[in-house]
Structure 1
């Protein structure tokens, strides 16, 4: 499996662009609507957004050695209490992901990545490149759920097509 640092930087910027748009949609919707149970996998828009934030921090910890977020998947949905708090934490994490991608070298995408899986209760080892692909795929998957929930709530969902991402920043 071959991915490049350029791919990672593009996807880190795409992630930040998407989250910047979600911040505006969240502000327009308000915290009551963000917290409403919409019968999605993680329940609400905010819970799903929190899970993605938690997952990004978890994978970033595995790639860089920074501390992992507290809790397990079950607690991931309560990472922040409001859209405004989510926006602050999301901005910080998106900045860290972009900085990681900007410094990434091709050799860092090769070889295995090993960690202890709480879900499986054992050590796991997978190709680093696969884990990086998973990080970006996980973001996109759950943002699709958020997009659907925003649309169902009558909010204006953001443009999500990678081909329409601005060529120049600011990404955050």
Structure 2
């Protein structure tokens, strides 16, 4: 289905996208970040927190040595600056994980307890990794729309425009 190279490329894309978002988030007023925009996770920061929390929970499933996030997903980081710092750290962990990923692992299954489904789940790791990266893209798209609606220039998101040096 996929290769370690796919995961490495998507980890690089994820970090690039989040770095671009951070450059916008760092200059935004906290009231704008936390304003309820009637999105699924409420605000820009709530959506960004959900995505960060989700990335951390998936990483802890991919590598049980990594910590699980604490608390509600939309409240992980109380401020935009705290999100930026935590996001950079998580993106580094995602890149490290992707660089250590082997095809044998991708060809195997992953089992974990799903809090959403309230039961044990087993899926092919390759499919789960595709979901992991797709989930990131989905929620960044929501943030992109909210930023645009709030009058900010949302960053370019086209994978084919990603610089080589990211």
Q: Does TM, normalized by the shorter one, top 0.5?
A: yes
Provide the rounded CA distance (Å) in 2 between the counterparts of 1:52 and 1:42: 10
Is 2:21 the counterpart of 1:15? no
Unpaired segments ≥5 residues, structure 1: none
Provide the rounded CA distance (Å) in 2 between the counterparts of 1:155 and 1:37: 16
2:37 maps to 38
Quote how far apart the aligned CAs of 1:105 are: 1.1
Quote how far apart the aligned CAs of 1:126 are: 0.6
Number of residue pairs the alignment of both structures matches: 165
1:70 maps to 70
TM-score, normalized by length of structure 2? Answer: 0.97
Provide the rounded CA distance (Å) in 1 between the counterparts of 2:119 and 2:100: 31
Quote how far apart the aligned CAs of 1:15 are: 0.4
1:27 maps to 26
TM-score, normalized by length of structure 1? Answer: 0.94
- Deviation string 1:11-44 (CA, Å, 9 cap, x unpaired) is 0010000000101111232211000000100000
SS in 2 for 1:77: helix
Provide the rounded CA distance (Å) in 2 between the counterparts of 1:121 and 1:8: 28
Unpaired segments ≥5 residues, structure 2: none
Provide the rounded CA distance (Å) in 2 between the counterparts of 1:106 and 1:115: 20
Provide the rounded CA distance (Å) in 2 between the counterparts of 1:23 and 1:31: 13
Quote how far apart the aligned CAs of 1:121 are: 1.2
CA RMSD of aligned residues (A): 0.8
Quote how far apart the aligned CAs of 1:139 are: 0.2
Provide the rounded CA distance (Å) in 2 between the counterparts of 1:118 and 1:128: 18
Higher relative contact order (CA 8 A, sep 6+): 1
Contact 2:10 2:133 in 1 (8 A): yes
Contact 2:48 2:143 in 1 (8 A): yes
SS in 1 for 2:58: helix
Is 2:2 the counterpart of 1:3? yes
Provide the rounded CA distance (Å) in 2 between the counterparts of 1:69 and 1:49: 14
2:56 maps to 57
2:157 maps to 160
Provide the rounded CA distance (Å) in 2 between the counterparts of 1:29 and 1:155: 9
